[in-house]
Structure 1
Amino acid sequence: MPVETLHIDTLVVGAGQAGVAMSEHLSRQGVPHLVVERNRIAEAWRTARWDSLVANGPAWHDRFPGLEFEGLDPDAFAGKDQVADYFEAYARKFNAPIRTGVEVNSVERNVGRPGFTIETSDGPIEAIHVVVATGPFQRPVIPPIAPEMATVAQIHSAEYRNPQQLPEGAVLVVGAGSSGVQIADELQRAGKQVYLSVGAHDRPPRAYRNRDFCWWLGVLGEWDAEVVQPGKEHVTIAVSGARGGHTVDFRRLAHEGITLVGLTKSFNGSVVTFESNLAENIARGDENYLALLDAADAYIARNGLDLPLEPEARQLLPDPHCLTQPILQLDLAAAGVTSIIWATGYSVDYSWLKVDALNAHGKPQHQRGVSSEPGLYFVGLPWLSRRGSAFIWGVWHDARHIADHIVKQRTYLAYRDAAQRQNENPREQAAPSDSPSQKTSLMGVR
């Protein structure tokens, strides 16, 4: 027996922060829609993160405008389960039409009629508009240099949960963005000998002069920057909300027992070679840190703010031995390294999109989320419209822009449909051109 096709105006794929935000704005605008999610709402926060993970921004900042975190101090950092619960509560707040346990297998443009046909695990769907809200963290990336070594356990940071998960022995953590730094710190505190491979990074202060760095980037206009600075396309941010929030200081990590090494270059058997750029990477991170302090001081002076001085923020610890005499090669077997954690980021997987919305590298082609394929949209990606696009509050604002675009397109389609009905029924008399009734029926004004 054939499965009946579901018809909907707008289909949203994914019920993480992007999908929930998208549903809210579509609901506000009265756009009939459905959100499908292959797992649970905000599943990645629950099962694709390590146990002790907390948000990197304080609760007053990393949230949607319409709901605060219940029972959490605004300056605290929400745990991963609290974040997932938050999105579930937010979806209930406006009765979001979310259908979980539904996986999208393909999206194809219809031929000879508007919209798309979407094949799902729950049957076919036809939609005029499709919003891809699957986010940037789809496929964990382990670089091809990873060695084949039966004696060393290797996992991506997406699979890491806690120190007890790893075998006895030392650990090499490759990647010093927020995830790599926090995992390395946790492992060292659990008694592990840790080697941390440090690449290029930005290193903002957790807080400065009684304001969190999220506040500083906001008032300085950094969150609204629309263009990535040259050379910063792949630079990670080293920041942490762990243990109440603190500034990531690589020198301090080294003095506490972590061995810093440069960018991981290659493996030859059990010997790993590192680039000789550790000091350079640390120095550039320091420059980024001090530049934000300078910008904050200038903002305070310019606006006459009464915020406490913090001269100790500019005091750097002495360079540790691993920085002045960097290790360029390490025999993992001799050093007792039994685990490698690849904190090397993610890639996107849009192989299920059978439409003209991707470039030769499989990356979305879009302008502020409006793709090159009419009727298809992206939301939740880094730098979708600005620097803050991948953050919870940034996703919410981007979703509003996409919803507005969909509403505008619906008004044009409503005009086309009304004109077609009039051609099919010429006896119908249209209202005068300045009639409010015509404006309502043809232009979809609510």
Structure 2
Amino acid sequence: MTAETLSIDTLVVGAGQAGVAMSEHLGKMGVPHLVLERNRIAERWRTCRWDSLVANGPAWHDRFPGMTFEGLGPDAFATKDQVADYFESYARKLNAPIRTGVEVKSVARQKGRPGFTVETSDGVIEARRVVVATGPFQRPVIPPIAPKDATLTQLHSAEYRNPAQLPDGAVLVVGAGSSGVQIADELQRAGRTVYLSVGAHDRPPRAYRNRDFCWWLGVLGEWDKEVAGPGREHVTIAVSGAYGGQTIDFRRLAHQGITLVGLTKSFEGGVATFEQDLAFNLARGDESLMALLDAADAYIARNGIDLPEDPQARIVPADPDCVTNPLRELDLVQAGVSTIIWATGYAVDFGWLKVDAFDEKGKPKHQRGVSAEPGVYFLGLPWLSRRGSSFIWGVWHDARHIADHIVTQRKYLEYRDASQRAHEHASTDAANAPLAESHE
């Protein structure tokens, strides 16, 4: 960009899956736009994930409608680099107007005229509309209970890459969603002693009766649910495409060698203490699994579909000793724990967005991504319009809705402008008309 102020109809902030999807729909609808990305396209897939990560959904599902994964079977799980390459290729296919290496520092509404002033690392932009496509994984969260102990290596799952990165010794993994489970499993397979802190979770089957769980959530209408169930807003989902895709079973992981513990409660004097809720959390996870299997069986019976029986899916291994005799506390030194990995999620960071689009808790106020602040849109957030909103294909559909809204607003403004021009034209004609002669 030049030193002069650039004006654009719609500015999209972020060129991950949300920004690329937004650019596709805006381009198809003829909306002039620009996408700014402070790093590279799909950067977080490349540098904020561990080395062995694969997508949690199969390639036929976790993609945009307009392009498949090159050289990857439909039931395979794309690696993180394949996903990043996919979005780069998609952006090239669209000839998307993306500028990388440009950070958006602030967005503020202009006074006395429509639109926003956008301060960037490469100059100032004036935009009529702004789409915030920065996604939900902005700021890694490590809870305040983390011990203040310089002898321990502590890192968030966003910083974890592989077992060789860590110092020798046992590892405590806090958090048993998809990230925590896969990291703990990888570390144990690499020969580490691993303790895995398990909180509330859902654990769907990786596949059931010859269909992936993504397919089941689709036909059962689960992806289209608009709100999470009461008390389920912050329940993590334990699912994995690693090693070809397997159903997460915490008891199996324990029999494999991982020591399960309850929710991490506190650290004091080098001792970690845990809630005595491990058996309860596992039972609730089992309930979520069985409920989905029951719903799938009912769907098959109701529709007369010929799919093979799958009795193995309902087998729950016996409780291991770490469940029947759960640890209440763990002396980290005695246990040889040298590392704590916090798989405790992320928080959004909208400090750069100086607009009235947030509630008293700092959460975006929006309806299906259309913000309470006219001209500001959010894309890529969990439950933006439905359960599937933060998934690759869900982002694509939400982007289309937002693009439709932008086009509608542009049409209203064009009508106003056309009416104003017609009025001005009539006024000009009247001013230039000759005066009528008097016949008095």
| Category of TM-score, reference length = shorter chain | over 0.9
Identity of aligned residues (%): 79
Per-residue deviation, 1:424 = 2.8
Q: Which amino acid in 2 is paired with 1:221?
A: G
Match of residue 436 from structure 2: none
Decide whether the 8 Å contact of 1:422 with 1:428 is kept in 2: no
Matched position secondary structure for 2:86: helix
Q: Which amino acid in 1 is paired with 2:345?
A: G
Match of residue 336 from structure 2: 336
Match of residue 404 from structure 1: 404
Match of residue 443 from structure 1: none
Q: Which amino acid in 2 is paired with 1:236?
A: T
Q: Which amino acid in 2 is paired with 1:392?
A: I
Per-residue deviation, 1:426 = 2.0
Matched position secondary structure for 2:426: coil
Two-structure CA RMSD over aligned residues (Å): 0.9
| Residue correspondence of structure 1 range 102-181 to structure 2 within 5 A | 102-181=102-181
Q: Which amino acid in 1 is paired with 2:259?
A: T
Match of residue 293 from structure 2: 293
1:108-139 per-residue CA deviation (whole Å, 9 max, x = no partner) reads: 00111110010000100001110000000000
2: CA distance, partners of 1:65 / 1:428: 51
Per-residue deviation, 1:428 = 6.8
Per-residue deviation, 1:423 = 3.0
Matched position secondary structure for 1:318: coil
Matched position secondary structure for 2:333: helix
| Residue correspondence of structure 1 range 371-386 to structure 2 within 5 A | 371-386=371-386
1:380-417 per-residue CA deviation (whole Å, 9 max, x = no partner) reads: 00000000000000000000000000000000111121
Q: Which amino acid in 1 is paired with 2:216?
A: W
Match of residue 362 from structure 1: 362
Q: Which amino acid in 1 is paired with 2:306?
A: D
**Does 2:306 match 1:306?**
yes
**Does 2:322 match 1:327?**
no
What are the ranges of 5 or more consecutive residues in structure 2 without an aligned counterpart? 430-440
What are the ranges of 5 or more consecutive residues in structure 1 without an aligned counterpart? 430-446
**Does 2:248 match 1:252?**
no
1: CA distance, partners of 2:279 / 2:242: 26
Please give the TM-score of this superposition, normalised by the length of structure 1. 0.95
Structure 1 runs, 4 residues or longer, greater than 6 Å off: none
Match of residue 21 from structure 1: 21
1: CA distance, partners of 2:172 / 2:428: 75
Matched position secondary structure for 1:299: helix
1:185-207 per-residue CA deviation (whole Å, 9 max, x = no partner) reads: 00000000000000000000000
Match of residue 387 from structure 1: 387
Match of residue 11 from structure 1: 11
Please give the TM-score of this superposition, normalised by the length of structure 2. 0.96
Matched position secondary structure for 1:225: coil
Q: Which amino acid in 2 is paired with 1:244?
A: G
Matched position secondary structure for 1:187: helix
Match of residue 435 from structure 1: none
1: CA distance, partners of 2:39 / 2:119: 17
Say which one has the larger Rg. Answer: 2
Range with greater deviation from structure 2 (186-195 or 353-362): 353-362
2: CA distance, partners of 1:428 / 1:101: 49
Match of residue 264 from structure 2: 264
Match of residue 68 from structure 1: 68
Per-residue deviation, 1:421 = 2.1
Match of residue 215 from structure 1: 215
Per-residue deviation, 1:420 = 2.2
